[in-house]
A = this chain, B = another copy of it.
Amino acid sequence: MAKYFELSDAKRDGLLNIGQAAEMSGVSAKMIRHYEENDLIPKPGRTGAGYRVYNDSDVHVLRFVRRARDLGFSMKEIKTLLGLWDNRRRASVDVKRLALKHVEELDAKIAELQRMRRTLTNLAEHCHGDHRPDCPILDDLSREHH
């Protein structure tokens, strides 16, 4: 846990400041700090002046997080995934379970959006779309629904 007292030293050692780590990982500096605050990622080293310094492993973790977010995992889920990733004795069954549970959640969201889409498309089809004030969309919105 050696501390780097000069940014230039750290950079000579191939370490990155937060901006560079952000660029390398695709995670914004803002979010990197946020993930750190929420114990999603390990606290990086600091220079004497308090600048965060990141190594290759740190950037690797950040990319992992980025990818998982792209796949729609929540921060909580990602925390679990990172734990499984770290754990040498991890069982792939655990990861698979989490992935499939997430697929189910995605299915539910997709179905709901498709239901909305269907209703809205139907309504729009019956709407003149001209300058007459009659509009089945508004009529539907204002009607009873149970």
**Alpha-carbon distance between A144 and B144 when the two chains are bound, in angstroms:** 51
Q: Are A116 and B81 in contact (CB under 8 A)?
A: no
How many copies, total?
2
**A31 sits at the interface (CB 8 A):** no
- The number of residues on chain A lying at the interface, defined by a beta carbon within 8 Å of a beta carbon of chain B, is 55
**Residues of chain B with a CB closer than 8 A to A117's CB:** 103, 106-107, 110
**Residues of chain B with a CB closer than 8 A to A131's CB:** 91-93
Q: Are A137 and B67 in contact (CB under 8 A)?
A: no
**Alpha-carbon distance between A123 and B99 when the two chains are bound, in angstroms:** 9
**A13 sits at the interface (CB 8 A):** no
Q: Are A130 and B93 in contact (CB under 8 A)?
A: yes
Quote the shortest CB–CB distance from A108 to chain B (angstroms).
10
**Residues of chain B with a CB closer than 8 A to A140's CB:** 67
Using A92-B130, A92-B134 as known contacts, list a sample of 14 further A-B pairs with CB atoms less than 8 Å apart, ordered by residue number in A.
A64-B142, A67-B141, A71-B119, A84-B135, A91-B132, A93-B130, A95-B138, A96-B124, A96-B128, A96-B129, A100-B124, A107-B117, A110-B117, A113-B113
